[in-house]
Amino acid sequence: MLHPIRVLMTEIVDYAGLFPPAKLDMRTTVENWARYVSSEHSWMLGRLIVPVARLDEFEEAVDELGIAPGPGDDAWRISGLVALDTLDAQIDRIFAFNRARTLGTDTEQDSAAAESAPDGELSLPGSSGGMVIDAIELKCASAADIDTAMRIIPEQLEPYIEISPDADVRGPIAAMAGTGARAKIRTGSVVADEIPGPGQVASFIHACAAADVGFKATAGLHHPIRAEYALTYDDDPPRGVMFGFLNMFLAAGFVRAKILDDIEAARLLDERDPEAFTFDDDGIAWRGKRLDTAAIARVRETFATSFGSCSFEEPVEDLIGMKLLAGE
């Protein structure tokens, strides 16, 4: 595998099996995640996406399956979906989960430690029950909502705030600047007309770069290159043009490096020819414009953090098909 691909794809997929179009039940989602984190390509996984309102169901599935994630690097990192109107209560639930699941509850000593941990203290996964919710995701409709949310969210949680690409994104993204918040954009749907256009996504990326705000994308990014795909897993699925995750993250890299303007970034996001992309040991290029491995590392570490996908297998299989990734 080429080193730039390894750098680009490390911890890039946030697994969202609970959500459309997969819309798996909790038990299957947990089983899948446990299998993926033990697979050859586990290094591509970021976080597991779980609504905080379904944490009881999640814990029940974990306990019924007898899954015991390991400590440290083997711990499960989880991003909790929350709602602004119940944010205080859901943050309390997150800290209760972290006290129980990062310290373990198998012994009286662990239980006592969990009870004595101060509210709001987010410890790293301990020797048992290695799960931690270290990020949250929520929707905000305005800069005022973002200000409200950031007054409540403690610094131990990394917030991703979803904003609509249908309106001017510059105000909400500017409201995140300097707060520690990251932006989130929905780039897909099971309905073709609800998928944003390349120009909208390019404007979002540029606004994030201008405000020095990192971001993640979610939905419709199962495949490396933009093309028409089935939008659901139904027998007779609707079809639509979906963004490619290579298009998305390379566009972010070029924008961050001030190599592409809005129009050129939109062209890259709309690129459907796999031959337009070239890969070598030192970088990745698109139609003569190039990002070296160091630039790719910087954009992944500080700017374009991950993408949510209800499928982990499709990104892996497509990269194998492009001979960019080795199969088992």
Interatomic CA distance for residues 71 and 158, integer angstroms = 21
Q: Which of 138, 136, 258 is nearest to 186 (CA)?
A: 138
Find the mean pLDDT for residues 59-69. 93
* pLDDT for 102 beyond 70: yes
* pLDDT for 143 beyond 90: yes
How would DSSP label each residue in 249-317?
Answer: HHHHHHHHTT---HHHHHHHHT---GGGEEEETTEEEETTEEEEHHHHHHHHHHTEEEEEES-SHHHHH
215-226, pLDDT tens digit by residue?
999 999 999 999
Least confident of 16-20, 68-72, 248-252: 68-72
**Distance between alpha carbon 133 and the CA centroid of its chain, in Å?**
13
Find the mean pLDDT for residues 155-174. 96
Note if the pTM is more than 0.85. yes
Least confident of 104-113, 277-286, 319-328: 104-113
pLDDT of res. 73: 66
Q: Which domains does the chain have, with CATH numbers?
A: 3-321 (3.20.20.70)
- CA 309-9-140 angle, to 5 degrees, is 45
Interatomic CA distance for residues 298 and 269, integer angstroms = 20
- Give the pLDDT band (50/70/90) at residue 107: very low
| Backbone φ and ψ of 28, nearest 5° | -65, -40
- Give the pLDDT band (50/70/90) at residue 34: very high
| Backbone φ and ψ of 283, nearest 5° | 175, -175
